[in-house]
Chains A and B, each alone.
Chain A
């Protein structure tokens, strides 16, 4: 089974997903990430999905789960580089990605994490 590498950049963990994720890979990633956040004491998680072309509801939920989990471990999650088609799919699926910050690209995502935490999860995506 493939494993997605988790890279540490300063106090941010960077996950760059390069392939279309299988469910098992996604589950393994969640476990790995939780361990890594605790071990490194990271304050932020950036998930780069620039290369992801296809998402299903499972992967969509994975983002929300990772965000909720990271928040418990005091790290903020930013999903960056979502393609238009992927965004449209998620909206059509009715997935709101509650609690997930988003940014257009990796650079903007890192800048978002560098800025002080405005506090509270982003209420922007609550299911409407």
Chain B
């Protein structure tokens, strides 16, 4: 009994090091029960071997470098699991089964000293298990944040309809963050292409509330400040009713029923006339 904190597990360390291979086999078997083909037994065994040797090193030497290395490897493994769609339980099981492995070893060896040490060891493994959870949750949150960002980029194309006319077909719910992206993308495109007209098509927007309307107005005002004109199109009947019911004033902003109408309007303003040729 050297250090009551985390040391004083000389017997367990002794047991684990002498029967390392047997322990590793049992650990792989227990932890690999729910792999469902996402990683192979061999891979798992490799991961666990590294964990086991690092655990032993950190228990043995009271060494901060060994411990931080163990935590880093464990965090890395948990993060990988999170990305491979393991459940939290499946991720944590990999760590917690070590307890069972050690417990079985102690029972086999029938050592009283080791049983006393088991409580401290158990606490040590719990600590590692918590780290696993934490990393898992953090990685999952990161995945969600990344996806939200990707969605943001996906959802804001600015397309050119005609020389000097661009359109933004908006699909999905508009919130402040998205509107900001749309606004910047649209205004930047106006500058890059030198377009003086833009159509904001909201056919794919499921609902318009005062906030969304406010965002749209701001976009249109900013475009006007830059010397471009915006037309709104694709307001659906129910949304038109909502807008009127909410008392939102669109002022002198031009609004057309469909994208086609908006294009026709802007073309005629630009002096382009569309004539259908009589064939035959």
Binding site for B on A (CB under 8 A): 79-80, 82-88, 90-92, 96-97, 101-105, 108-109, 123-125, 128
Contacts and interface: CB of A to CB of B under 8 A. Distances in A.
B223 A128 contact: no
A82 B225 contact: yes
B217 interface: yes
Interface in B198-249: 217-218, 221-228, 249
Contacts of B54: none
Given A125-B224, A128-B249, A104 B217 contact: no
A31 to B, nearest CB: 25
Contacts of B191: 83-84, 104
A92 B218 CA distance: 8
A96 B221 contact: yes
A81 to B, nearest CB: 8
Contacts of B228: 104
A87 B252 contact: no
B222 A88 contact: yes
Nearest to B222: A87
A84 B184 contact: yes
Interface of B: 183-184, 187-188, 190-191, 194-196, 217-218, 221-228, 249, 251-252
A87 B187 contact: yes
A77 B188 CA distance: 24
A79 B218 CA distance: 19
Given A102-B227, A104-B228, A108-B227, 19 more contacts: A79-B225, A80-B227, A82-B226, A83-B226, A84-B222, A84-B226, A86-B225, A87-B187, A88-B222, A90-B225, A96-B221, A97-B225, A102-B224, A102-B226, A104-B227, A124-B224, A125-B224, A128-B217, A128-B251
A87 B225 contact: yes
16 contacts: A80-B227, A82-B225, A86-B225, A87-B187, A87-B226, A88-B187, A88-B218, A90-B225, A91-B222, A91-B225, A102-B227, A104-B194, A104-B227, A125-B221, A125-B225, A128-B249
Q: Determine which residue in B188, B226, B249 has the highest number of CB atoms from chain A within 10 A of its CB, and name it.
A: B226
A20 to B, nearest CB: 18
Contacts of A103: 227
Nearest to A104: B227
A88 B194 contact: no
B196 A108 contact: yes
Given A102-B224, A125-B225, A84 B188 contact: yes
A42 to B, nearest CB: 20
B227 A109 contact: yes
B194 A105 contact: yes
Contacts of B227: 79-80, 82, 101-104, 108-109
A84 B249 contact: no
Nearest to B224: A124
The 9 closest A-B pairs by CB, nearest first: A84-B187, A102-B227, A103-B227, A87-B222, A87-B225, A104-B227, A91-B222, A82-B226, A91-B221
